[in-house]
Structure 1
Amino acid sequence: MHIIKKSLQLCLFGCMALLAALHAQASMPKAAEPKHLTVYMEQIIGDGSYRNFKNAQELNRVSAWIREQMRLFGIPCQYQNYKVNDEAYRNVVCSLKTAHAGKVIVGAHYDVFEQSPGADDNASGVAGVIETARLLAAEKARLKKSVDFVFYTLEEPPFSHTEDMGSYVHAKSIEKLGDNIQGIYILEMIGYFDQNFVQQYPAGLKWFYPSHGNFIAAVGNLQSRELTAGYCSAMKSLNLLQCERLISPSFVQHMDFSDHLSYWEFGLPAIMITDTGSYRNRNYHSEQDTLAGLDTGKMAQVVNGLVNTILSE
């Protein structure tokens, strides 16, 4: 009788462990697909017509493709139109709405610098936002807030750090929402990793961060430090790519080179998720910034960390 009782206890414990494992597995969102990221980036880069400010037709092609791709996920989009020097440009603003009052924003710019293919800068970020949208749309019932996915134009020179940046136009348009904006995540170059490359840093930072180029960075200011902590914690808990936090005042050189700065200027909590751009990618702003240099497997890990961060908030 004792042996039977012992066997029943072991069976019960085993069944409970199995059920717990199955429950944990069921609660995990589907993972990002590297092959999806590749297809998205191929569509963004297109046939070689550079998507810079001088080529509004190509920018319009890309923004129209983004809008249609998001529609396929069941996420409606609208264009945010504005003019610069009598030329029309547009952001793409897509909303995954829930019954909750709070909102987070996930964004990336889709234009390029001059005649660069812009695979890492910033087709990688745009692809990451699109794949994040696909996964969160499938998990909509679990979201505790609404999510806007925003694709910006005119991030690159000569419009960087001006009110003509697409992100500045968008930030200004949502300024009055204030506390309803719980976090803004900007994906800026998320595809270049090199274990053997010696990572570069702004002056003074190399003593505090890894010497290799095989991590993702979450850059924030004091107001957004909890967002950087949340994202890196998600990456660590899921045993994903190494994540490093940098809490930076806006005057640190090159730490304000992306769209998160536009939101900082309106007092909104925003962070940049990045492979560190020109501090790592030797192809930055050149014709060599192609898909061949990117690691879509690690890009997928970056996306998985972001999806889990948003679902857990």
Structure 2
Amino acid sequence: MHITKKSLQLGLFSCMVLTAAFPAQASAPKTAEPKNLTVYMEQVMGSGYYRNFKNVRELNRVSAWIREQMRLFGIPCQYQSYKVNDEAYRNVVCSLKTAHAEKVIVGAHYDVFEQSPGADDNASGVAGVIETARILAEEKARLKKSVDFIFYTLEEPPFSRTEDMGSYVHAKSIEKQRGNIQGIYILEMIGYFDPNLVQQYPAGLKWIYPSHGNFIAAVGNLQSRELTADYCSAMKNLNQLQCERLISPAFAQNMDFSDHFNYWEFGLPAIMITDTGSYRNKNYHSDQDALAELDAGKMAQVVNGLVHAVLKE
């Protein structure tokens, strides 16, 4: 994940309270398991090899493990391969198909910055997508859309903000499907929470928004503002983590700090769900970004909100 200090200046909006996603008489969907999230993160992080762009072998290990884990849920995957500087890299594209032509996309990048272990950035996001897939596969009969789960390569520098990003490659590949894509949810750093921490913001925002570091943020543009509202509403209805919204005009600069922006470039409705990254996590892009620093219980709440938002689609 790459965040600039200007990137949040357009404002966070508190989530709106909407009607419950499911009638009282309907049984509630299954919920996320913190222990599952921990196991997924351990598998993604491996035994200490850095999954950066220089270590293609490790990237391939992670992508192969993801594909196999998704297969165990009954969700088939394929690699979306492409070359950068004569080296082959690959996204993992997994499809939970229903009878509906319309689809929702849930994604996260699996590479890391330089020699960071990348627990929060972004093993947490990958684990969140996998656990979301597990639950939705079991709740398939409730789905009103098909769901694609995408795991991206090359999100981090030196490829961030370039057409070599895995998410750019994927966004371009689905441009002609725009009419069928109802929403895209990108999970980017969802594991770091500290109610005693003083949350950081760009100048001027700290007087308006939470002073603590114990909320999840939904980042969208004007086209995707309803997705941010639906997600924060699901969190509110489930009595999960506090949820805050950031809404940016589609033409705004300095909002290209993760994979969601590449979908905006192709006119697709996408949001990022995040713990705010470097504005909160002091271990961002460092060798201290470790599993022990994360809260799997709160990550599970983030996933529960996403499951409800997708099922409501």
Contact 1:112 1:118 in 2 (8 A): yes
Partner of 1:204: 204
For 1:44-193, what aligned pairs fall within 5 Å after superposition? Answer: 44-193=44-193
Distance (whole Å) between structure 1 residues aligned to residue 134 and residue 310 of structure 2: 13
Equivalent position SS for 1:151: strand
Contact 2:223 2:250 in 1 (8 A): no
Deviation at 1:209?
A: 1.1
Contact 2:222 2:250 in 1 (8 A): no
Deviation at 1:249?
A: 3.7
Per-residue CA deviations over 1:8-44 (Å, capped at 9, x if unaligned) read: xxxxxxxxxxxxxxx9476211110000000000000
Bigger shift: residues 63-72 or 240-249: 240-249
Equivalent position SS for 2:256: coil
> What is the aligned-residue RMSD (CA, Å)?
1.3
Distance (whole Å) between structure 2 residues aligned to residue 183 and residue 109 of structure 1: 18
Q: Letter of the 2:287 partner, please give it.
A: E
CA gap of 1:251–1:267, structure 2 versus 1, over 3 A, is: closer
Equivalent position SS for 1:60: helix
Equivalent position SS for 1:158: coil
Q: Letter of the 2:102 partner, please give it.
A: G
Deviation at 1:178?
A: 1.2
Higher relative contact order by CA 8 Å / sep ≥ 6: 1 or 2? Answer: 2
Equivalent position SS for 1:128: helix
Structure that is richer in helix per residue: 1
Distance (whole Å) between structure 2 residues aligned to residue 45 and residue 252 of structure 1: 34
Q: Which has the larger radius of gyration?
A: 1
Partner of 1:8: none
Distance (whole Å) between structure 1 residues aligned to residue 194 and residue 251 of structure 2: 27
Distance (whole Å) between structure 1 residues aligned to residue 271 and residue 196 of structure 2: 27
Bigger shift: residues 240-249 or 294-303: 240-249
Distance (whole Å) between structure 2 residues aligned to residue 212 and residue 252 of structure 1: 27
Partner of 1:276: 276
CA gap of 1:254–1:33, structure 2 versus 1, over 3 A, is: farther
Contact 1:91 1:152 in 2 (8 A): yes
Per-residue CA deviations over 1:198-245 (Å, capped at 9, x if unaligned) read: 111123322321011000000000000000000000000010000000
- TM-score (structure 2 length as normaliser): 0.91
Distance (whole Å) between structure 2 residues aligned to residue 207 and residue 98 of structure 1: 46
Equivalent position SS for 2:174: helix
Bigger shift: residues 123-132 or 250-259: 250-259
CA gap of 1:78–1:263, structure 2 versus 1, over 3 A, is: same
Equivalent position SS for 1:27: coil
Distance (whole Å) between structure 1 residues aligned to residue 79 and residue 232 of structure 2: 32
- TM-score (structure 1 length as normaliser): 0.91
Contact 1:37 1:128 in 2 (8 A): yes
Deviation at 1:194?
A: 0.7
Q: Across the two proteins, how many residue pairs are aligned to each other? A: 291
Unaligned runs of 5+ in 2: 1-22
Q: Letter of the 2:179 partner, please give it.
A: D
Partner of 2:262: 262
Contact 2:213 2:280 in 1 (8 A): yes
Partner of 1:300: 300
Deviation at 1:259?
A: 0.1
Deviation at 1:252?
A: 6.5
Equivalent position SS for 1:81: strand
Q: Letter of the 1:144 partner, please give it.
A: K
Equivalent position SS for 1:184: strand
Contact 1:202 1:253 in 2 (8 A): no
CA gap of 1:165–1:218, structure 2 versus 1, over 3 A, is: same
Bigger shift: residues 271-280 or 248-257: 248-257
Contact 1:250 1:256 in 2 (8 A): no
Contact 1:250 1:261 in 2 (8 A): no
Per-residue CA deviations over 1:245-277 (Å, capped at 9, x if unaligned) read: 010246778642100000000010000000000
For 1:1-12, what aligned pairs fall within 5 Å after superposition? Answer: none
Equivalent position SS for 1:216: strand
Does residue 240 of the first structure (1) align with residue 240 of the second (2)?
yes
Equivalent position SS for 1:52: coil
Per-residue CA deviations over 1:48-94 (Å, capped at 9, x if unaligned) read: 00000000000000000000000000000000000000000000000
Identity %: 87
Q: Letter of the 1:299 partner, please give it.
A: M
Bigger shift: residues 147-156 or 197-206: 197-206
